[in-house]
Amino acid sequence: MLDHALESAFVGCLQTDPRFSGVHFFTGHEDEEHQLPAVTVTSKSESLAGSAAVFRADVTLLIENEAHDNGPDDHAALVEKVRTSLANKAAVVAAINAGNQVHLYGYAFTASSLDVDGKRFRTTLMFKAGYGTP
Amino acid sequence: MPATPVDVTFGISKHDGALIDSVEVEKKIEQKALKGSDGNVARVHVYNPTNSGSVKGHGTLAVVPGVGDPGVTGITGGVTVITSVKESEKNEDFSDWEYQFENYPNAEAVT
């Protein structure tokens, strides 16, 4: 449940950015029709020191473009938009905390990877986040 | 060999903090043994009991080095010295802290 709240909070924060007009956002726990271009946020949390209020989360952002209608430059541009949007940590943390779904303490990128098949470009951004109940 | 019932605990019970990772307590005592004429230890005297330990956790920390209270259940009486306090921050994890203490149950503090 808290994982979903964190995912929804990140999705809500990114969706408000006008640069993502036309991009579909999904969370990992929703059964929605998956339309591209898409950004899917999933997270997996563990409790900090056995606490019921503070958690560490491994968050994954899956950024996808359809390969038929998009070139690699389009995909790279979308990935760059996501990176740029999340680079301003203070603003993202403030925006998410203002939503009162979770209280985000901070986050840090840990890895990224690119995957291409015949149908889509797919970049995965992974980061660790510390958050708690609001 | 039949299993012996043992009362185990799980989690932190010796410290009231909300985000404590671990608590360690070691109780020590010194001894003086006197060997008898046949080479076996014949007399033993124990003295100077001391307790030492450490606490690791996250969040607000009020403990400072010096004479103080380690906040650990069972560590009372005498003088307790917080010997070190270490605070850490990481780029992809919560900040944390650790402090160590020595307790001398038969001592009194000198200012």
DSSP assignment of B3-69 equals PPP-----S--S---SSEEEEEEEEEEEEEEEE-TTSSEEEEEEEEEEEEEEEEE-S-----SEE--
CA atoms within 13 A of residue A127's CA, in its CB half-sphere: 20
Walk across the sheet containing B79-90 and list its strands. B20-35, B41-57, B93-104, B79-90, B66-67
Beta carbons of A57 and A10 less than 8 angstroms apart: no
Please say if the pLDDT value at position B106 is more than 90: yes
The partner residue sitting opposite B93, judged by closest CB among A51, A53, A130, is A130
pLDDT of residue B82: 97
Contact A54 B58 (CB under 8 A): yes
DSSP B2: P
Q: How far is residue A55 from each of residues A6, A11, A62, A107, B28, measured CA to CA in Å?
A: 11, 19, 22, 12, 37
pLDDT of residue A114: 87
Min Cα separation A104/chain B (Å): 11
pLDDT of residue B3: 65
Inside any domain, residue B71 = yes
Residues in B touching A130 (Cβ below 8 Å): 93-94
> Cα–Cα distance between B87 and A69 in angstroms, integer?
52
Contact A105 B11 (CB under 8 A): no
pLDDT of residue B18: 86
pLDDT of residue A31: 64
pTM of the model: 0.81
pLDDT of residue B2: 63
Min Cα separation A130/chain B (Å): 6
- pLDDT per residue as tens digits for the range A90-107: 999 999 999 999 999 999
Contact B19 A48 (CB under 8 A): yes
How does residue B23 score in pLDDT terms, banded at 50, 70 and 90? very high
Contact B92 A110 (CB under 8 A): yes
Please say if the pLDDT value at position A108 is more than 70: yes
Mean pLDDT over each residue of chain A, to the nearest integer: 91
What is the pLDDT averaged over residues A33-57?
A: 92
Please say if the pLDDT value at position B70 is more than 80: yes
Inside any domain, residue B11 = no
- Percentage of chain B with pLDDT > 70? 95
> Cα–Cα distance between B18 and A112 in angstroms, integer?
34
The partner residue sitting opposite B93, judged by closest CB among A50, A51, A128, is A128
Domains of chain A: which residue ranges? 2-132
pLDDT of residue A33: 77
CATH of domain A2-132: 3.30.70.1700
Q: Is B111 exposed, middle or buried (0-12, 13-18, 19+ CB in 10 A)?
A: exposed
The partner residue sitting opposite A49, judged by closest CB among B57, B91, B92, is B57
> Cα–Cα distance between A23 and A17 in angstroms, integer?
11
pLDDT of residue A94: 95
Q: Best of A47, A48, A125 to disrupt the B interface by mutation (most B CBs within 10 Å)?
A: A48
Provide Rg for chain B, Cα atoms.
19
Residues in A touching B57 (Cβ below 8 Å): 49
Chain B interface includes A111 (CB < 8 A): no
How does residue A118 score in pLDDT terms, banded at 50, 70 and 90? confident
What is the pLDDT averaged over residues B22-45?
A: 97
Chain A residue with the nearest C-alpha to that of B20: A49
Cross-strand pairs, B47: B30
Residues in A touching B18 (Cβ below 8 Å): 49, 51, 53
Chain B residue with the nearest C-alpha to that of A126: B92
Domain that holds residue B96: 20-104
DSSP A18: G
Domain tally for chain B?
Answer: 1
Chain A residue with the nearest C-alpha to that of B21: A49
